[in-house]
Amino acid sequence: MKTPNNEKNSISSQASKVPLSEEFREAYTLHLADTTLILAQRNSEWCAHGPILEQDIAITNISLDLLGQSRNFYQYAASLINNATEDSLAYLRTEREFKNLLLTELPNGDWAQTVLRQFLFSVYQSLVYEQLQKSSDEQLAAIAQKSLKEITYHIKWSSEWVIRLGDGTTESNARMKKAIEAIWEYTGELFIPSGYEIELAATGIGTDPALLKQSWLQKVREVFDEATLAMPSDRFMQTGGKQGTHTEHLGYILAEMQSLQRTYPGAAW
Amino acid sequence: MQALLNSKEQKIRQILETVCDPEIPVLTISDLGILRDIKINDEEIEVIITPTYSGCPAMDAITMDIRMKLIEHGYKNVRITSLLSPAWTTDWMSEAGKQKLEVYGIAPPKLSGHLNGQTTLPACPQCHSNNTKLLSQFGSTACKALYQCNDCKEPFDHFKCH
């Protein structure tokens, strides 16, 4: 595998040489790749810490699916960007270059917060990918189509957990309510399109997430109803992830995830 | 020329018949339905495969195994292409493969129409009872779920519909 000698040369400065429309495609592909990678990395923190063995295996399986999806996106992005490889894109970009959703970088919290985040994200992801599989970009369409089957299982598993905890004991219900309070303000960003999403939606490559909000709310409401949880009230929403402005948590994730490649460039095993 | 190519393709198919899934060694890659095509020209053999799950680590091992087996038989110029679309489905698994799975102790997948709708429970591969229950949607590998038989009490893997 090729590893670029210098990150700046390989990734950032190339952007100015490609047409603007290609820049949007690159940014969007990286947004999709970063989002799935960071959630995979977060979920994998549960490995050997899950509440019981079967659920430990479940969350790490979901993590593996997300990692596989992100690799498909990174491999495609690497084919679009000069001198990039899937590894250089994952391991050698900085915080401000990552375009993942803020929701995915939040700490796991307790099990309630982790399964709630997975549920909110998986429903969103399925709605986006259902549109994306009709993309005029064949590779993005293929990755979306492939991933959707996996996401179906993620929604099923995570929604069952939201219902089990929400409609469970006093303690589990309180935990789920606390989880909603903790992460709801990071869901607004999902439906506010970035510049590249607007551009690509107009050209049939991407999709405008604003159009998916009602379907998302409806699915979330169905599950919350069954879980005896109230839909949260309107509130201030955090934004910035799609443009590379992150919470303080992302830097720590990257530090852990990238330290080996940055300390021993090109290391392989 | 065409006859020559056909016999070469048959030989290559026979070699690829010996490439198995490292995690479920009773299944060959053609049983699994991940061997999509073989393209042969004078200089190169292209083997086209499709991944099962996006993150399945067996795919790297399978790619390596295909290459090694072909090199062993003197085919040095091998290209392995991974094709994502159309997306792999367990419907492509051969009947022989499904039978081998069951004998191996893994309940085979039903048709993928079951993916979204009401699922029927898989029969126990040990005692063939239909009285089984789901323990976990996720099992020891990405492609499996964990069930238990209510009659013989044996837990078992089910190769998930996909």
Residue of A nearest to B85 (CA): A142
Instruction: State the pLDDT at residue B140.
Output: 84
- What lies within 8 Å, CB to CB, of B109 at 6+ separation is B90, B93, B98, B158, B159, B160, B161, B162
Question: Rounded to the nearest 5°, which phi and psi values hold at B37?
Answer: -165, 160
pLDDT in tens, A208-267: 999 999 999 999 999 999 999 999 999 999 999 999 999 999 999 999 999 999 999 988
Q: For each of chain B's 162 residues, which pLDDT tens digit applies?
A: 677 778 888 999 999 999 999 999 999 999 999 999 999 988 899 999 999 998 888 898 999 999 999 999 999 999 999 999 999 999 999 999 999 999 999 999 987 665 555 467 899 999 999 999 999 889 888 889 999 999 999 999 999 888
| Chain length of chain A | 269
Whether residue A6 is predicted with pLDDT greater than 60 in this model: the reply is no
ipTM: 0.85
**Please, which residues have CB within 8 angstroms of residue A28's CB and are 6 or more apart in sequence?**
A196, A197, A200, A205, A206
Q: State whether residue A269 sits within 8 Å of chain B by CB.
A: no
Which tens digits make up the pLDDT trace of A88-141? 999 999 999 999 999 999 999 999 999 999 999 999 999 999 999 999 999 999
Which of B54, B55, B137 lies at the smallest CB-CB distance from A156? B137
By the 10 Å C-beta count (0-12 exposed, 13-18 middle, 19+ buried), A148 is classed as middle
Residues of A in contact with B85 (CB under 8 A): 138, 141-142, 145-146
Contact across the interface for A152 and B116, Cβ inside 8 Å: yes
Which of A16-30, A38-52, A139-153 shows the lowest mean pLDDT across its residues? A16-30
Task: State yes or no: pLDDT of A1 exceeds 60.
Answer: no
Q: Note the pLDDT of residue B139.
A: 87
**Least Cα separation, residue B55 to chain A (angstroms):** 3
Specify the pLDDT at position A268: 83
Q: Does A235 touch chain B (CB under 8 A)?
A: no
Interface residues from chain B to A (CB-CB < 8 Å): 51, 53-57, 84-89, 115-116, 135-140, 142, 146, 160, 162
Report helix, strand or coil for B98: helix
In 3D space, the residue among B115, B110, B107 whose CA is nearest the CA of residue B148 turns out to be B107
The set of residues, in sequence order, having a beta carbon less than 8 Å from that of A23 and lying 6+ positions away, is: A15, A196
- Which residues neighbour B158 within 8 Å (Cβ) at sequence distance 6 or greater? B106, B107, B109, B122, B139, B144, B145, B146, B147
For the segment A192-208, the average pLDDT, to the nearest whole number, is 96
List Cβ neighbours of B28 (8 Å cut-off, separation of 6 or more): B16, B17, B18, B19, B20, B21, B97
Predicted confidence at residue B153, as pLDDT, reads 96
Residue of A232 and A12 predicted with greater confidence:
A232
| CB pair distance less than 8 Å for B87 and A150 | no
- The pLDDT value recorded for residue B112 is 67
Average pLDDT of chain A?
93
From chain B, the residues in CB contact with A144 under 8 A are none
Q: B103: how many CB neighbours lie within 10 A of its CB?
A: 9
CA of A73: which chain B residue's CA is closest? B54
CA–CA distance from A54 to each of A58, A62, A95, B24 (Å)?
6, 12, 34, 20
Interface test with chain A among B48, B54, B83, B91, by most A beta carbons within 10 Å: B54
The residues pairing with B70 across neighbouring beta strands, listed in sequence order, are none
In A, minimum Cα distance to B88 occurs at A146
Residues 6+ apart with CB under 8 A from A30: A73, A77, A89, A97, A99
Contact A149 B136 (CB under 8 A): no
Write out the H or E segment, with its range, that includes residue B64: helix B58-72
Check B136 against A150: CB less than 8 A apart. Answer: no
Chain B residues whose beta carbon lies within 8 Å of the beta carbon of residue A64: 53, 55-57, 142
Predicted local confidence at residue B162, as pLDDT: 86
Compute the nearest-CA separation of A132 from chain B (Å). Answer: 13
Query: How confident is the model at residue A10, as a pLDDT?
Result: 41
pLDDT tier, A19 (very low <50, low <70, confident <90, very high otherwise)? confident
Residue B105 Rama label (left phi>0; alpha psi -120 to 50; beta): left
Residue A13 has pLDDT above 60, yes or no: no
